[in-house]
Copies of this chain bind each other. A is one copy, B any other.
């Protein structure tokens, strides 16, 4: 009983921290985008966290943890609404257990995260109603099905796949969705000049972005630390150390690479490098030594930088760098489980790559179908006039910073 209580306290604290990541994402996005689209981003963030919890209550949790599967352990559904049944205050699949309710809430916060990743990439030109439909369908269907494959003990679990806290199951799932949607959505007006070269659209509030990254780092203590699914002292503590060292190495490595390549001490690369290190360590945070965590982070940093350049080359417009951070570093971190740490082996690398591939295809197809459906129903993109005016006025009738001069 004492251990159950302590485990449950720990899992509740981690739930709070993952919840708080939604402020981090919100600040990050607002800061890296233009001031005229701020209210719109806030509205999307509020929608994601509120609707995300309700959708996960309605359908997501029971799609992700279905109990029984069909079709080769690819999908299952335990019914609408959560229902703890008898003995509702205890689950036994974790060491010492914690409660069903805590489990639901912790997982619900994760689910909302996937939609938030998409929110950043599509900022500044998507119709708000289209975003609402896309985010709802993606969180209700695609995210929990992929999650069920591993965390719901589906086929990937049987295969020996390892993804501790979700480099693939959360971050890449969000990242693939973002990639497909921005492909169909197109770049912001003015993002590429007439020769196709990218034009920097500077962020409107870098202090908020920096705060967002520090809040996300804080939240990651819960994201990874809670994925131990108990308060086991050795595992939780090690996980926090590897998480921090990877974040630090990712930030420094990305900033140094940016200095080497572009000659500037770029704060946004420093910030996104930290996030890349965090995403990278997420799949194997409980399996790595401190030195291995530093190596994983130090490789994730330059991946972010290269990923930004790659998207620019492909004329894909991701205003906040969500895809380099969450998709590319998510793939790297998932592979790294086979390269470094306690599970390293050629076989593991192959398994990790296989699941990355299958999950990627499923997410792309799922996102593609959702986008085409929504495009056909209500369209995707605001008009050119609305985009120029800003989505705050066009979609919400108010700006974010009224009266912002000293009188």
Whole-angstrom distance between the Cβ of A153 and the nearest chain B Cβ: 23
* Contact indicator B404/A35 (Cβ below 8 Å): yes
B-side contacts of A104, CB under 8 Å: 241
Give the docked Cα–Cα distance between A290 and B108 (Å). 14
A294 at the interface (CB under 8 A from B): yes
Contacting pair B406 A23 (CB below 8 A): no
Q: Which of A11-53 contact B (CB under 8 A)?
A: 12-13, 15-17, 19-20, 22-23, 26-27, 30, 34-36, 38-39, 42-43, 45-47, 49-51, 53
User: Closest approach, in angstroms, between the C-beta of A166 and any C-beta of chain B?
Assistant: 20
The answer to whether B54 touches A397 (Cβ under 8 A) is no
Q: Decide: B9 and A231 in contact? CB cutoff 8 A.
A: yes
Pick the contact of A396 from B5, B43, B266 — CB < 8 Å?
Answer: B266
B404 in contact with A50 (CB, 8 Å): no
Complex interface bits, A258-278 against B, C-beta within 8 A gives 1, otherwise 0:
000000111100110010000
From A209-217, A335-343, A351-359, A373-381, the one touching the partner chain is: A209-217
Q: Which residues of B contact A403 (CB under 8 A)?
A: 34-36, 202, 204
CB neighbours of A7 from chain B (8 A): 5
Q: Report if A57 contacts B (CB, 8 A).
A: yes
Query: Min CB distance, A224 to chain B, in Å?
Result: 12
Q: Is the beta-carbon distance between A46 and B251 smaller than 8 angstroms?
A: yes
- Say yes or no: B206 contacts A400, CB within 8 Å: yes
In the complex, which residue of chain B has the Cβ closest to the Cβ of A98? Answer: B233
Complex interface: stretch among A64-72, A82-90, A316-324: A82-90
Chain B residues with CB under 8 A of A88? 234
Decide if B45 touches A89 in the complex (CB within 8 Å). no
Interface residues of A in 118-169 (CB under 8 A from B): 128
CB <8 Å contact, B400 and A205: yes
Q: Contact partner of A399 among B2, B202, B213, B245, CB < 8 A?
A: B202
Q: Name the residue on B nearest A30 (C-beta).
A: B207
Instruction: Give bound CA distance, A266 to B245, whole Å.
Output: 40
Q: Is the CB of A99 within 8 A of B42?
A: no
Are A406 and B396 touching (Cβ within 8 A)? no
Distance between A391 CB and nearest chain B CB, rounded to angstroms: 10
Is A348 part of the binding interface, using a Cβ–Cβ cutoff of 8 Å?
no
Chain A residues 86 to 109 lying within 8 A of chain B, measured CB to CB, are 88-90, 98-102, 104-105, 108
Docked complex: A218-235 residues within 8 A CB-CB of B: 218, 221, 225, 231-234
A12 close to B210 (CB less than 8 A): no
Question: What separation, in Å, do the CA atoms of A51 and B253 have in the docked complex?
Answer: 11
A27 and B26 alpha carbons, distance in the complex (Å) = 15
User: Which of B43, B82, B231 sits near A270, CB closer than 8 Å?
Assistant: B43
Residues in B whose Cβ lies below 8 Å from that of A241: 101, 104-105
Cβ-closest 9 pairs across A and B: A89-B234, A202-B402, A101-B237, A50-B248, A99-B237, A8-B233, A102-B237, A2-B2, A23-B214
What are 28 A-to-B residue pairs whose CB atoms are below 8 Å? A3-B5, A6-B6, A6-B9, A13-B13, A16-B218, A23-B211, A27-B207, A27-B211, A36-B406, A42-B210, A43-B270, A46-B270, A47-B252, A50-B270, A50-B274, A54-B245, A57-B290, A57-B294, A99-B234, A105-B244, A128-B265, A205-B207, A205-B404, A206-B398, A206-B401, A207-B400, A390-B407, A401-B404
